[in-house]
Chain A
Amino acid sequence: MKDTLVIRDLKAGIEGKEILRGINLTVRKGEIHAIMGPNGSGKSTLGLVIMGHPSYEVYGGEVIFNDRNLLDMEPHERAQAGLFLAFQHPLEIDGVRFSTFLWQAYSHRFGNGRKPDIIKFRKELRQWLKNLGLPENMTDRYLNVGFSGGEKKRAEIVQMAILKPEIAILDEIDSGLDIDAVRIVAENVKRIKQETGMGVILITHYQRILNYIVPDYVHVMVDGRIVEEGGPELAETLEKEGYARYGVAEEV
């Protein structure tokens, strides 16, 4: 299927320990899927496995994107195919300037073997930093080094805006953001979605961001399985009642 990410009965884990126990999920371009679930239920693992983190092993199932078997592809090939993961914990890379790195990524995505237009790149970058409320000199700083928690999250969105994915996985993009920042990030995600028509998998613990980015579907993940699916109202129920109804003990 074109413009579609299909996950079928995906089982994966680490060092023989199964974390994902059969995930089924289909995301078309233009759709917004929220994934919610208690800590440790496997949400980040799902993102990392879709993106191809080498520490995780796949025990079964398949992941198909635009009719290509993602599981046979290297992480960079998945990215070049149009997948994007905004990390729950973005990595710090010392000595590597934000713009240097992003230019290289941009060249892969839009170069077709040649160098794309650097002037256009700079202009876009400057605009998106502004949109996300980040200072212009961010470009000369080392990637995520010394960025505050909120700056890291915003910088992930800048990267996404520049790389214009077809499907983006946003792993707790709203965690650690102040109230205004949640709104700014959410508005920009919506804007990027409008401009690119991308599909979004939004992993979150909070209803707040879903007020801005209204999901088409909400999936509840518990212990490596999707245990319930519904519309936006499901998120509101969870906000009120928590995960107790899935047999999950309340957090202390």
Chain B
Amino acid sequence: MADRKEQEALLDFDYSKYGFKDEDAVYDFVSEPGLDEEKIKLISRLKGEPEWMTEIRLKAYRIFLEKPMPTWGVKLDDIDFDSIVYYARPTRKVADSWDEVPEYIRRTYERLGIPEAERKYLGGVEAQYDSEVVYSRMRKELEEKGILFMSMDEALKRYPELVRKYFGTVVPPSDNKFAALNTAVWSGGTFVYVPKGVKVDIPLQAYFRINLQNLGQFERTLIIAEEDSFVHYIEGCTAPIYDTHTLHAAVVEVIVKKGAHVRYTTIQNWSRNVLNLVTKRAVVEERGFMEWISGELGSGRNMKYPSSILRGRGARTDILSMSFANTGMHHDTGGKVIIMAPDCRATITSKSISKGGGISTYRGLVKVLPDAERARISVSCDALIMDEDSVSNTYPYIEIEADRVNIAHEAKVGKIGEDQVFYLMSRGLTEQEATTLIVMGFIEPLSKELPMEYAIELNRLIELEMEGSVG
């Protein structure tokens, strides 16, 4: 009887302190705020990149300048691109032992419980601190299977041909303004390569931390799963609380080959001053399966729509997302599925919670192209509104150009039932506990998909968000 809540009772983590900052941080290099071609060349030079990458960056920068700001989603017009620090390198070295990581950074990750998690249940860990990956290590037995797991920068040095072959093929810089910006100034992020037929049975985790005020974090992740392989990649994100905006604009590209299966899990707990504008996309070949699972708890303004392009016959995708918009927060999230081949299946499940005036918007697109006959799609959006001040919106776009497509769509908006709260209270739970339990039940479809430790963490985070929610 593996009961999470009971397990939780036996564990004793303190997740209440994500918001701290490292006062004694020292940096090897911090670029001046603002961006121009010279700065981009400098970043590329500091990293010792091949010329073709410098060219990609410069081209993307021009696209960034030309592209208009999105006029939908969250408020973006107050982003001051001139005040952002685009590159901050804490150290030059990617350590493969925590002892070699600078003391103040190690302390941070220890507070966040990362080294312990690595010892207990992860196959590999990568830790990015501001612009650079400072720690990266994978278990030996995984290395021996030919799996590659390292920072994108290192991959560019060690496997330039592989990077060149796939970089920007799933998310081209022309996709949107922030994808262009990321391509111009990207730094850090993860590179994962799983050879044909190899199944990675324990998750690989990347941990992203922003420490410097006004830093923009632009990590770039590329996952390549060869035929019939499997990998579960998890990312976690935190940052200190500042009173100015911090921009996080990542790009994630996933390539799922024939019969491969990639599960991509995100636990996003940025502080509220972080603007999270992320482009995540996968292309899925024949019989491949792409799963996007995300719990979005932090970030004052959040736009993300993990996407799957089902390109091969019988490809599948599940997009499961939970977002919690508390006071002052605006989450505009959802998922996109583009189906290009016959016999594909897709499900999008969105669970949103709005509380204390928070705004949650589901925005989704399902597009079925003429060749994609017999596609089966199910979209369900469930919104929970905790009080009168909070808002929930739903924008489900569906375009079907193929025949014999089966699509189910369901949207529900609800409040917490007074009778349910009373029922739980009649057994001795406080009003806050009762409400929290109901909220956790609401997001159970997500948490049951997470490894137990993450489900526990998610529940802890929900508990924190629910604190002080009843008078």
Residues of A within 8 A of B (CB): 51-55, 74-76, 78-80, 84-85, 87, 90-91, 93-97, 99-105, 107-109, 115, 118, 122, 139-140, 142-143, 159, 163
Chain B contacts of A109 at CB under 8 A? 428
- Given A51-B426, A94-B442, A95-B440: 9 more A-B contacts, CB < 8 Å: A51-B422, A53-B422, A74-B425, A76-B431, A95-B442, A99-B5, A101-B424, A143-B441, A163-B428
- Residue B1 lies at the interface, judged by CB distance under 8 Å to chain A: yes
Residues of B within 8 A of A101 (CB): 424, 427, 429, 437
A sample of 30 cross-chain residue pairs with beta-carbon separation below 8 angstroms, ordered by A number, consists of A51-B426, A52-B422, A53-B422, A54-B418, A55-B418, A74-B425, A74-B431, A75-B425, A76-B429, A84-B427, A91-B423, A93-B437, A94-B442, A96-B437, A96-B440, A97-B3, A99-B1, A99-B6, A100-B4, A101-B424, A101-B437, A102-B427, A104-B437, A109-B428, A115-B9, A118-B9, A118-B10, A122-B6, A139-B3, A140-B1
From 417 to 471 in chain B, residues with beta carbon under 8 angstroms from any chain A beta carbon are 417-420, 422-431, 433-434, 437-438, 440-445
CB nearest to A102 among chain B residues:
B427
Give every chain B residue within 8 A of A96 (Cβ-Cβ).
437-438, 440-441, 444
Q: Mark B16-52, 1 if CB is under 8 A from A, else 0.
A: 0000000000000000000000000000000000000
- CB of A122 within 8 A of CB of B429, answer no
> Which B residues are closer than 8 A to A by beta carbons?
1, 3-6, 9-10, 417-420, 422-431, 433-434, 437-438, 440-445
The DSSP consensus for interface residues of chain A is helix
B423 adjacent to A93 (CB under 8 Å) = yes
Contacts of B4 in A (CB 8 A): 100
Instruction: Name B444's contact: one of A74, A95, A118, A122 (CB within 8 Å).
Output: A95
Secondary structure dominating the interface of B: helix
Flag if A103 contacts B1 (CB, 8 Å): no
Q: Quick check: B429 and A103 within 8 Å, CB to CB? A: no
Task: With both chains docked as a complex, state the minimum distance between the C-beta of A173 and any C-beta of chain B, in angstroms.
Answer: 15
A174 to chain B, nearest CB (A): 20
Residues in chain A near residue B443, CB distance under 8 A: 95
Contacts of B442 in A (CB 8 A): 94-95
Closest A residue by C-beta to B419: A91
- Within 8 Å CB of B6, what residues of A? 99-100, 103, 118, 122
Asked if A108 and B428 sit within 8 Å, CB to CB, the answer is yes
In the bound complex, what is the Cα–Cα distance between A55 and B443 (angstroms)?
A: 27
Closest to B9 in A: A115
* A93→B417 CA distance, assembly (Å): 10
